[in-house]
Amino acid sequence: MKILTNNLILAGLTLVFSFACTVKNKNTQEKLSASKPNILFIAVDDLRPEIGIYGAQHIHSPSIDKLAEQSLVFERAYCNIPVCGASRASILSGVRPGRYRFLGYNTYLDDDYPEITSLPMHFKNNGYTTISNGKVYHHADDDSLAWDEVWRPSNKWNISRDYVTSENLRIEMDSTVRGYPYEKADVQDTAYFDGKTAQKAINDLKKLKEQGSPFFLAIGFLKPHLPFNAPSRYWEMYDAKNVSLPANYFRPETTPAEAFHNFGELRQYAGVPKEGPVSDEMAHKLIHGYYACVSYTDAQIGKLLKALEELGLDENTIVVLWGDHGWNLGDHQMWCKHCNFESSLHVPLMIKVPGKTNGMHTSAIAEYIDVYPTLSELAGLHTPEHTDGESFVPLMNGKPRIKDYAIAKYFDGVTIVKDNFFYTEWLDEQDQVKARMLFDHSTDPLELDNLAEKTEYRETVQELSQLLHDQWGDDFFIDRRIP
């Protein structure tokens, strides 16, 4: 009887101790989560700043606009390279693209700069749960050690372009070309990849709340990337009769040939001519489809942000929304990205910091390499020495930043944005300037009058060229790629 009593007492003490440890661990997790802000990192593929918060009254983007009302909104933010793989490697490493680094859509951060600590790895090393949903890096297996989980949507046809209509599926499966560059289907949001991605991210938020530890949750939405596939109701938000071509739907004679491209990405789709401009009918359809996809993705972002709020996570979660680069929507009679015009480099960027941002706008120039040091500072983490950017936290505190320029490149073309000037140089194989262009956005926002060769702007060109060469980085010409 005495042995039984002792065993009961021991079992009771064990239960009390276990309960106390559970409570302590839970309290520790809650304290840790409260002391470290969560990060919700939302990437939108090919999103140009043609949305409501940027003054585009013809666009239906209520969810992004609502987020902007609680954020710091950058009116002059620029990607560092206008192609998806390289842009994502740059922002997630905090490193400026170079002559041989971060070049094209197929970029792997692991190959181009393997020794650095990426943004998600930096947070993982500091106790964060890191999850990648959808297209965050261009390749799902890039920087894989930085994530606790990597997930991407799929369909039963294993077609990355995510068609659902029988016509487009037939073309994809029976021919050497892709389906049409747009699709309107009477389906639910979850029929397409972005709807699936939003649902996965919402489920993750629920699990992360239960875990109680801080998280870095990255979500990459595909639309409005080609093909412009969206449920019918998003197409029907826009009257086709009101869709118009841009005012700069032509190529100015003073602009160097190096500035233009043949929009080869679009020409891979059915119905698109291999050379020359697309028909006006197709141009209007492409713009209509792009708008529909913007609204479709906006709706998925709205679902995600609503879940964040309903779960009570919004009060301790920093939200960053960014488009990986701009997109030529007929500007200069071009489509896609891949160039050094404003339409390819200018991007939407907003960051919501609970208790700190409240819908403020800034005209300060920012570039994507600034995001890494900014999030590090906001989370109370040190910023690794390899990063090239400058935190824009001072702007949130009403203070100016020292840096007042942005630099972007696309293969041979390198651009610097300073004040109202937009200056680009193209380099030859000996790294000498072979062409240049200069626009003054205060008088020429559509970039129709190249000032680079005009005598009265010679001094301006020299000053901007010198600043560009001084600031594009000490390792601009260093090749670190793995053979």
Quick check: is 120 in a domain? yes
E strands in 419-461: 421-427, 433-440
Contact 329, 63 (CB under 8 A): no
Confidence of residue 20 (pLDDT cuts 50, 70, 90): very low
Long-range contacts of 8-17 (CB under 8 A, 24+ apart): none
The number of distinct structural domains making up the chain is 1
pLDDT value of residue 158: 87
Contact 271, 180 (CB under 8 A): yes
Quick check: is 295 in a domain? yes
Task: Tell me the pLDDT tens digit for each residue of 94-151.
Answer: 999 999 999 999 999 999 999 999 999 999 999 999 999 999 999 999 999 999 999 9
Contact 75, 362 (CB under 8 A): yes
Task: Tell me the pLDDT tens digit for each residue of 258-271.
Answer: 999 999 999 999 99
Residue 76 neighbours by CB distance under 10 Å: 17
Confidence of residue 255 (pLDDT cuts 50, 70, 90): very high
Cβ neighbours for 309, distance < 8 A, ≥ 6 positions apart: none
Nearest CA to 368 out of 422, 330, 425, 406 is that of 406
pLDDT value of residue 316: 97
Quick check: is 470 in a domain? no
Distance CA 282, CA 122 (A): 45
Cβ neighbours for 437, distance < 8 A, ≥ 6 positions apart: 255, 256, 259, 340, 423, 424, 450, 452
pLDDT value of residue 26: 43
Confidence of residue 28 (pLDDT cuts 50, 70, 90): very low
Task: Tell me the pLDDT tens digit for each residue of 320-361.
Answer: 999 999 999 999 999 999 999 999 999 999 999 999 999 999
pLDDT value of residue 238: 98
Active site residue 293: no
Query: What region does 230 belong to: left with phi over 0, alpha with psi -120 to 50, or beta?
Result: beta
Residue 15 has pLDDT above 80, yes or no: no
Task: Tell me the pLDDT tens digit for each residue of 65-84.
Answer: 999 999 999 999 999 999 99
Residue 378 has pLDDT above 60, yes or no: yes
pLDDT value of residue 474: 84
Residue 16 has pLDDT above 60, yes or no: no
Kindly state the DSSP code that residue 389 receives in the 8-state scheme: -
Contact 269, 177 (CB under 8 A): yes
Tokens of 216: 């870095």
pLDDT value of residue 483: 67
Tokens of 435: 């062409």
pLDDT value of residue 22: 44
Residue 320 neighbours by CB distance under 10 Å: 21
Residue 8 has pLDDT above 50, yes or no: no
Length of the chain: 483
Tell me how far apart the terminal alpha carbons of the chain are, to the nearest angstrom: 76
Quick check: is 54 in a domain? yes
Confidence of residue 34 (pLDDT cuts 50, 70, 90): low
Task: Tell me the pLDDT tens digit for each residue of 395-431.
Answer: 999 998 889 999 999 999 999 999 999 999 999 999 9
Domain of 215 in residue numbering reads as 37-405
Contact 192, 229 (CB under 8 A): yes
Q: What is the distance of C-alpha 51 from the center of its chain?
A: 15
pLDDT value of residue 98: 94
The active-site residue out of 60, 79, 84, 122 is: 84
Mean predicted lDDT score pLDDT of the chain: 93
Quick check: is 417 in a domain? no
The active-site residue out of 60, 122, 138, 338 is: 138
Task: Tell me the pLDDT tens digit for each residue of 286-316.
Answer: 999 999 999 999 999 999 999 999 999 999 9
Residue 207 has pLDDT above 60, yes or no: yes
Average pLDDT over residues 149-160: 94
Contact 305, 66 (CB under 8 A): yes
Coil, strand or helix at 378: helix
Determine phi and psi for 236, rounding to 5 degrees: -75, -5
Quick check: is 301 in a domain? yes
* H or E segment to which residue 130 belongs: strand 129-134
Confidence of residue 189 (pLDDT cuts 50, 70, 90): very high
Residue 29 has pLDDT above 80, yes or no: no
Residue showing tokens 């029907």:
236
pLDDT value of residue 24: 39
Cβ neighbours for 146, distance < 8 A, ≥ 6 positions apart: 118, 120, 121, 124, 130
Tokens of 194: 């972005």
Distance CA 232, CA 107 (A): 34
Quick check: is 41 in a domain? yes
pLDDT value of residue 473: 87
Residue 6 has pLDDT above 80, yes or no: no
Tokens of 197: 């991605």
Active site residue 469: no
Decide which of 448 and 34 is more confident: 448
pLDDT value of residue 175: 83
**CATH code, domain carrying 121:** 3.40.720.10
Decide which of 7 and 64 is more confident: 64
Average pLDDT over residues 366-376: 98
Quick check: is 113 in a domain? yes
Q: What is the distance of C-alpha 85 from the center of its chain?
A: 11
Decide which of 483 and 192 is more confident: 192
Confidence of residue 5 (pLDDT cuts 50, 70, 90): very low
